[in-house]
Structure 1
Amino acid sequence: MSDTQTMIENRPPSVATLFTQRVDATPDAEAFRYPLPSTTADGPSEWASLSWRETADRVYAIAAGLVALGVRSEDRVAVLSTTRIEWIIADLGVMCAGGATTTVYPSTNAEEAAYILADSGSRVLVAEDATQLAKALAHRADLPELQHVVVFDAEGVDAVIEAGAGADDGGADDGGADGDEAGFVLTLDDLEKRGRAHQEAHPSAVKDRIDAITATQLATLIYTSGTTGRPKGVRLPHDNWSYMAKAIAATGLITRDDVQYLWLPLAHVFGKVLTSGQIEVGHVTAVDGRIDKIVENLPVVQPTYMAAVPRIFEKVYNGVSAKARAGGPAKYKIFQWAAGVAREYAKVTQDNFRRTGTASAPFRLTAQHKLADTLVYGKLREAFGGRLRAAVSGSAALSPEIGYFFAGAGVHVLEGYGLTESSAASFVNPGEAYRTGTVGKPLPGTEVRIAEDGEILLRGPGIMDGYHGQPEKTAEVLEADGWFHTGDIGELSNDGYLTITDRKKDLIKTSGGKYIAPTEVEIQFKAICPLVSNLVVVGAGRNYCSALIALDEAALLGWAAENGLAGRAYAEVVAAPAVTELIQGYVDQLNEGLQRWQTVKKFRILPRDLDVEHGDLTPSLKLKRPAVEREFQGLIDEMYAGQNER
């Protein structure tokens, strides 16, 4: 048996045990950095840190507090908050109490939040602030199992409680955020105080809970954000996370010396799995979920690795391109040249590494790359903090051309692949041997095969137990022998690298019988057009393909300022004939590289960008095609009026 197999197979029974082992091994090492709340309003934030011992002190106090509130083994405790240090310590506290964390996106509306709380049977809700508390109080009568709400930030909570009590006789009128024993709402500080008192009275309470946790015990209930229909609760036991922790460490991609910048939603499986890897390896994680602070935080945190979704890399690329264009024709020409050199250099070096094991390039290209590095790439790396060794991209497909650009510029984007049902990290590119355009190789211990229809099937310790309370839905995707049907179409190379083609359900079949993978066309367009934010290819049952195009507001308004449209609002600019003409040029360029049946015959520019708030994207920024098509059905009908064009 190999060392890797031994490490993975001899994994601890629970995340709680994994955490205690980390605390015991490196109690005084730095574990987390986080911005102080008092400094986050304006200007640069001041950061504080926690050692593993200090983290454990709070985690165990929270765990004991939950035990004191009556939380039992596998009882669900929901967390409704943005990504912040309290999210992580609350989650660990829940698991150390033997409970299971139900994750809820902070952007979830009150109705859907109530659905998740009710469906999960959550007994406690950990809410970020008064805004999130109000979602629970608005539907408290529908949540008979909910016994307590714990809030991170107390400001405004009393007013929400009073309003809730006035609107509903069953409201929280038996206590405020003062930690009174009978109170429905208490603060995180109150919970920790209760926990410490419980620890004094019952010193072994938390240890006993941790020791009793089994590998098959539920640790996390994550509701798929769902591109269609109601979200389903994915049941992930402790063993899933213990396996992920060991398997991620076995890849060698992260080390004790790393500093991770974590901003992804912890309600999403991608963000959640990053904490497991950190606990196993013991490196530092800087936590701040405010997306508008990423650019400001990177030079301060100076991460050695971070994870992101493709939209972030697309926005960075478009932003750099727009900035170069604003600098004048000469500067923009230099950027375009440097971008071309980056792509060529990345393709050549990756190909040579694949064939010879050495990432080499011809002398002329190497010289060009060195000059481009001085002029362009160095500044780009500094914007990421100057120490970024690798960035992991997941949740959706990244355009290979954008990936090659970053690779050639020295920002190594390692694409990975997984689903909520597979605990996120099923595949990842292997460090120096990464191949842009693929999602890499399976993690140690994960099996993969491609079905006859091209669907990717997975089996291994990371696969879910099933959907919460939905055995029939579970049976649709999980075979008796453990093979999970991902719903994604892909190809596996002879040496084990996986390429994702599309979602099985998203494949378009035209009226002419041709199958088209819309994602393939969409990511090609994103590499061509620096103004695009989102593209939705339409054409199922039609005799040609069309597209709905949403433009990036910052990039578009930058272009508008240079082309006689300065000072106009976004909606005015996108309606201008000059913009349609500009985008037509990019569509023509796209079509040159497509098969005839894939080409986009017509398009419409949307009056706004697609976003989470309008229901166009999931909280993890995945496209909700049915929702977008319903919203803009009138524009689609315009493009197919008559359907005579072929």
Structure 2
Amino acid sequence: MNLAEAIIRKNVEKHPLKSAVGFKKKDSGWKELSWNKFGEIVYKTANALKSSGIVENDKVAIYADNSAEWMIFDLAVLSVGAITVPIYSTNNGEQTEFILTDSGSKMILVGNQSQYDACLEILQKQNTQLATIIVSKKAVWIKKEFSSVYLEDFIAKSSPKFDFTNKENDDTATLIYTSGTTGTPKGVMLSHGNFIKAFDAHFDYFQFRNFEEELSLAFLPLTHVFERSWSLLCLYGGARVYFLEDPKDIAKTLEEVKPTMMCAVPRFFQKIYAGVLEKAEEGSSLKKKIFSWALETGWQTAELRRNEKAIPFGLKIKETFADLLVFSKIKEKMGGRLWFLPCGGASLSPEVTRFFESIGIHVTVGYGLTETTATLTALPLTRFEHGSCGQPLPGVEIRIGEQNEIQAKGNGIMKGYYNKAEETEKVFTDDGWFKTGDAGRFDEYGNLFITDRIKDLMKTSNGKYIAPQQIENLLTNNNFIQQITLIAEGRQFVSALIVPNFEFLKEFLKKNGISFTNWEEIVSKKEIVDFYKVKVKELQSHLSDFEKVKKFTLMPAEFEIGSGEITPTLKVKRNVVLKKYADIIEKMY
């Protein structure tokens, strides 16, 4: 079945007047579209695509920030049997041109002026198959003579009635170009069946109750397989999805929208966790005692629920007071209604998941890749193991291969890399298992634990192996550390480049009467370096001596997407950083 049809038709028929999506209008707050209206706009867009010459299996790109238009256009492309090619909104012109050229995209939806300007330049070069630019916002200035049209005008004369193009399970639905921490981006081919079967597996695994009443906030980039799959899953199940255009507005938006579900990356949870602990530490001795008591109470009840055991009446009373005095205030900052938070993209420390479970929010840590349609494993709602990535979803098989590599088979495994037969062959074993490139292990209960990226494992000159992600994750749990890159390969000891959390560091400067000049000077000050030495020493106290960071350099600015130092999903491109800051690294040795 066509993925778009599986999402739209049943929901329009089942509850036409129920809200489907939400979006923010600049001057009038949040608005919603009913399933009837949402479906009508998708149909009109699909008909406009057909009228403009888009046919089955044509490639159509989306280069925009999150918005209702993004999702409408995606579903419209799928409806006509064409293939969606998402491009990160943070990509520059060169990166965008590469994807348009490699995919052979004929049309593109853009969201803002810089995205339009980049695509106009590409179109004028005539180096690609790009023929039309659709612009989602009237605020963008366009040159209509260069095949540019506003989305509103593009669909204005289209019919709201539409017949979906029939698709088989194995037919390609999308090409998602991997952000990749190394190498050239590759177009991952995911099929209609990959998505639909993955969605069914999630509902089978979690057995949600009243899913149609849930509200999800899409704040991670829809270009990434994680947010796109999750948002499509929510719509597939009849839940509402609100779209946040600027992720920097997440704090304010959580309080406005009050979502019940939302997928996020580890850094989101780490920042909240570290911020709460920091604030608790600053409180009076009485407030510290209340916080510790509440956390202990929450942990006791969370453990009983995790193991599906009854909670004694007395403990329930204590939990009520703990929530009233402490937890409700934390949860209100997150909108007050969140209970289910899928987390992916990197590992998350067990102390962080335990904290959220204690305050009544289930962080569903999962594991997967773009090549696996996101989720391979996930923590169930009960009987899960903190620190693990849970167990395989229905229809997923996992085995541990050579070098402890996680290998997978199942419904979500990609068809391959677009136009890259040799690259595709490299990531599959002779007997058809997909090689993830991640090292892992199963415990006796079947829970999967990720140890590290195989390519990231470092060997010191003393022959010791270092798994950098675990140590980096440990250190970034602290609110004063925003980003970190470990160095150890071929070295006699571990060192690191540390990017401070400048927001918290600025507060530290104020409290300690240190005048601010510029960050270059601040991160070189002895008292600041000494402060971080103490922090780093405390955080890694339980590590083996060979794993500990012995020297570090504080960086005066964050690693950035635009400079290629991090991916759009905030993963550090280790090779880029090591090369760019080679001189700084050498000074530490």
Q: Fold conserved (TM > 0.5)?
A: yes
Residue 566 of structure 2 aligns with an amino acid whose one-letter code is L
8 A Cα contact 2:2 2:78, kept in partner = no
C-alpha displacement at 1:516, in angstroms?
1.3
Counterpart for residue 151 of structure 2:
188
3-state SS of paired residue (1:501): strand
Cα drift, residue 537 of structure 1: 1.4
Please state if 1:143 is matched with 2:94.
no
* 1:593 CA drift (Å): 0.6
Secondary structure in structure 1 of the residue aligned to 2:156: helix
Counterpart check, 1:87 vs 2:81: no
The verdict on how the C-alpha distance between 1:499 and 1:309 changes in structure 2, with shifts beyond 3 A counting, is same
Retained in 1: the 8 A contact 2:188–2:371? yes
How far apart in 2 are the matches of 1:346 and 1:512?
Answer: 44
Distance between the aligned counterparts of 1:361 and 1:542, measured in 2? 54
Equivalents in 2 of 1:470, 1:359: separation in Å? 54
Matched residue, 2:16 = 27
Give 1:283's aligned amino acid.
Answer: A
Whether 2:218 is the aligned partner of 1:262: answer: yes
Check the 8 A contact 2:91/2:562 in 1, yes or no.
no
CA distance in 2 between partners of 1:362 and 1:616 (Å):
53
User: How far does the alpha carbon of each residue in 1:2-29 deviate from its partner, in whole angstroms, 9 at most, with x for none?
Assistant: xxxxxxxxxx453334422222222222
Q: Please tell me the residue identity of whatever aligns with 1:358.
A: K
Alignment partner for residue 358 of structure 1, among 309, 326, 348? Answer: 309
How far apart are residue 638 of structure 1 and its match? 1.0
Query: Does structure 1 residue 384 correspond to structure 2 residue 334?
Result: yes
State the 1:322 CA deviation: 4.7
What is the distance in 2 between the residues matched to 1:322 and 1:568?
25
Distance 1:463 1:309 in 2: 22
Query: Hey, which bits of structure 1, 4+ residues long, moved more than 4 A?
Result: 321-325, 344-354, 359-363, 365-372
What is the CA-CA distance between 1:590 and the residue it aligns to?
3.2
Return closer, same or farther for 1:366/1:23 CA change in 2, 3 Å cut-off: closer
Query: What is the CA–CA distance in structure 2 between the aligned matches of 1:565 and 1:336, rounded to whole Å?
Result: 31
Structure 2 counterpart of 1:487: 437
Deviations for 1:436-455, whole angstroms, at most 9, x for unmatched residues?
A: 31111211111111113211
- For residues 416 and 289 of structure 1, the distance between their equivalents in structure 2, rounded to whole angstroms, comes to 25
- Residue type at the aligned position of 1:545: V
1:329/1:248 CA distance change after superposition, 3 Å: closer
Amino acid at match of 1:24: E
278, 291, 307: which is aligned to 2:263? Answer: 307
After superposition, the C-alpha distances for 1:142-186 in whole angstroms (9 at most, x for unaligned) are 53311111000133423xx3xxxxxxxxxxxxx44xxxxxx6111
Counting only pairs closer than 5 Å after superposition, residues 235-634 of structure 1 correspond to structure 2 as: 235-250=189-204, 251-253=206-208, 255-324=211-280, 328=282, 330=284, 334=287, 338=291, 342=295, 357-358=308-309, 372-479=322-429, 481-527=431-477, 529-634=478-583
Amino acid at match of 1:598: E
CA distance in 1, matches of 2:176, 2:57: 14
How far residue 395 of structure 1 moved from its aligned partner, in angstroms, is 1.0
Identity %: 33
What's the CA shift string for 1:62-97, capped at 9, x where partnerless?
A: 101000111111111000000011000000000001
Q: Which amino acid in the other structure matches residue 213 of structure 2?
A: D
SS of residue in 2 equivalent to 1:47:
strand
* Structure 2 residue matching 1:431: 3-state secondary structure: coil
1:230 is the counterpart of 2:213: no
CA distance in 1, matches of 2:294, 2:462: 40
- 1:6 is aligned to none
* 8 A Cα contact 1:322 1:555, kept in partner: no
**How far apart are 1:374 and its partner, in Å?**
3.9
Q: Deviations over 1:551-598 (max 9, x none)?
A: 111111111111112544443332221111111112222342111221
Indicate if the aligned counterparts of 1:508 and 1:517 stay in contact, CA closer than 8 A: yes
**Cα 1:62–1:610 shift into 2, 3 Å:** same
Q: Decide whether aligned partners of structure 1 residues 253 and 544 sit closer, same or farther in structure 2, where only a CA change above 3 A counts.
A: farther
Amino acid at match of 1:143: N
5 Å matches for 1:184-223?
184-196=147-159, 206-207=162-163, 210-223=164-177
Looking at structure 1, the residues matched to 421 and 292 of structure 2 have their Cα atoms a distance apart, in angstroms, of 50
Q: Distance in 1 between matches of 2:184 and 2:100?
A: 13
1:118–1:450 Cα change, 3 Å: same
- Closer/same/farther in 2, CA of residues 406 and 574 from structure 1, 3 Å limit: farther
Deviation at 1:320, TM superposition (A): 3.4
Aligned partner of 2:586 in structure 1 is 637
| Greater mean alpha carbon deviation, residues 276-285 or residues 537-546 | 276-285
Structure 2 partner of 1:72: 55
In structure 2, the CA distance between the partners of 1:410 and 1:571, relative to structure 1 (3 Å rule), is: farther
Shift of 1:625: 0.9
Quote the offset at 1:345 in angstroms. 5.7
Question: Residue 103 of structure 1 contacts residue 221 of structure 1 at CA under 8 Å; is this kept in 2?
Answer: yes
The CA deviation at 1:540 is 0.6
The answer to whether the 8 Å contact 2:442/2:449 transfers is: yes
Give yes or no for contact 1:224–1:234 (8 Å, CA) kept in 2.
yes
Question: Is there any run of 5+ residues in structure 1 with no aligned partner, and where?
Answer: 1-11, 40-45, 162-174, 177-182, 641-646
- 2: CA distance, partners of 1:424 / 1:289: 22
DSSP-derived class of the 2:451 partner = strand
In 2 relative to 1, CA 590–568 (structure 1 residues): closer, same or farther, beyond 3 Å?
A: same
Residue 97 of structure 1 corresponds to which residue in structure 2?
A: 80
Provide the rounded CA distance (Å) in 2 between the counterparts of 1:471 and 1:384: 45
Pairwise CA distance, 1:248: 1.9
Matched letter for residue 378 of structure 2: V
CA distance in 2, matches of 1:21, 1:270: 24
Matched, 1:37 2:26: yes
Q: 1:302 & 1:477 partners in 2: Cα distance?
A: 41
Aligned to 2:388, what secondary structure does the other structure show?
coil
Residues 271-321 of structure 1, C-alpha deviation per residue, up to 9 Å, x if partnerless?
Answer: 110123113210111111311221111122111111111111222233334
Point out the more displaced range, 569-578 or 622-631.
Answer: 569-578
2:155 counterpart letter in structure 1: E
User: CA, structure 1 residues 151+19, in 2 after alignment: closer, same or farther (shift >3 Å)?
Assistant: same
Find the aligned partners of 1:346 and 1:544 in 2 and give their Cα distance: 40
TM-score using structure 1 length = 0.86
1:425 partner SS: strand
**Shift of residue 346, structure 1, vs aligned partner:** 6.6
> Could you tell me how far 1:532 is from its partner in structure 2?
0.8
Question: Are the counterparts in 2 of residues 557 and 570 from structure 1 also a CA contact under 8 Å?
Answer: no
Across the aligned residues of Structure 1 and Structure 2, the Cα RMSD in angstroms comes to 2.4
**CA 1:569–1:252 in structure 2 vs 1: closer, same or farther (change >3 Å)?**
farther
CA contact (8 A) 1:75 1:123 kept: yes
Q: Bigger CA drift: 537-546 or 585-594?
A: 585-594
Quickly say closer, same or farther: Cα 1:455–1:253, change in 2 above 3 A.
farther
Q: Is the 8 A contact 2:302 2:358 kept in 1?
A: no
TM-score (norm 2): 0.94
Q: Structure 2: where are the runs of 5+ without partners? A: none
Q: Distance in 1 between matches of 2:302 and 2:547?
A: 29
